[in-house]
Amino acid sequence: MTWPVPADGVASVVTIGKFDGVHRGHREVIAQLIARAEGRRVVAVTFDRHPLSVVDPARAPLPLLSTAQKVEQLTAAGADLVVVLPFTEEFRALSPEGFVRDILVEGLSAELVLVGEDFRYGRDGQGTIESLRDEGATHGFQVAVIADVCVDASDKRISSSAIRETLSRGDVESAARLLGRPHSVRGLVVHGHKRGRELGFPTANLEEDSEGYIPEPGVYAGTLDVGGQRYIAGISVGLNPTFDDVDRPQVEAHALDADFDAYDKVATIEFTHRLRDSLHFTSIAELMSAMDKDIADIRKLVAAGKISRD
């Protein structure tokens, strides 16, 4: 099997992980790798899917980011190269020695490997930090271990599962503190029912298979980035319970003080604040009143400097 590694002989410092979400802890790993690079290539090795999707699919979590988003975030964090390994049955069967030989030594010319305290590798997780150090002594690379990054001054580690939990209950502000940035989803803008436009609140509706973990249904404040422009936005997630013709959860954003054609363009929606739950209204007038209040609340957040287009 040929793995997607350069095998070009360029000396590298390497870290390996799922990097789901590329949160503050992950970026600290990249920062420490950069600090130790001393002119060598900084490489992040990750996977094209969560390992549990192969090992135990029933337990595999929904990803916080698509693979493309993950690569972008790792690159933005400072990685010179992101290697995405296909986590297939064949890869899963690779022995610890084979992983070191094929990926780290022959593939990446690793001189330093930086991993977390719970790092395991190779078939059935047989490889440990101790065996990796032994391999490093044989092949000429060093192994360094980084401690977990914790939330503020607490001893609670930042984790992808904790971020997923906050998003599943709509707490996008806590998610942003763990991520180090607002959570976002991205997708092609498609035609919807055009009900928002009829009510004076035109929205950009994302395609069903958008990238990124979709938060708990509700109404949010945030931003909309489309066509190279960034707008303050009100965001709706869910089925819109006031109407009975929406058959799947939708993510749609209304750009404040702007009206444009976004159809068939890729849009990124960032969630900064949760405003309220999705509610069933008994009349269009009641819905309009609630939407007017949502817009007013968003403007207050902007005026307070809590949301920015920059």
CATH number of the domain that residue 112 is part of: 3.40.50.620
Count CB-CB contacts under 10 A for residue 246: 15
Q: Which domain holds residue 74?
A: 12-146
* Residue 244 binned pLDDT confidence (cut-offs 50, 70, 90): low
CB within 8 Å of 118: residues ≥ 6 apart: none
Mind listing the pLDDT tens digit for each residue in 206-238? Answer: 998 899 999 999 999 999 999 899 999 999 998
The secondary structure element, H or E, covering residue 254 is strand 250-255
- Say if pTM beats, i.e. exceeds, 0.75: yes
* Residue 96 binned pLDDT confidence (cut-offs 50, 70, 90): very high
* DSSP strand pairing (229-238 vs 218-226): antiparallel
Query: Which of residues 146, 165, 192 is at a domain's end?
Result: 146
Q: What is the pLDDT of residue 246?
A: 47
- Please tell me the distance from the alpha carbon of residue 175 to that of residue 183, in angstroms, as a whole number: 7
Same domain, 31 and 140: yes
Number of separate domains in the chain: 2
* Residue 1 binned pLDDT confidence (cut-offs 50, 70, 90): low
**Domain-embedded: residue 166:** no
Confirm if 235 and 219 have CB atoms less than 8 A apart: yes
**Domain-embedded: residue 158:** no
The length of the chain is 310
143 or 284, greater pLDDT: 143
**Domain-embedded: residue 294:** yes
The three-class DSSP label of residue 127 is strand
**Domain-embedded: residue 3:** no
**Domain-embedded: residue 167:** no
* Residue 196 binned pLDDT confidence (cut-offs 50, 70, 90): low
Query: Which of residues 118, 146, 174 is at a domain's end?
Result: 146
Q: What is the pLDDT of residue 82?
A: 98
Q: What is the pLDDT of residue 46?
A: 98
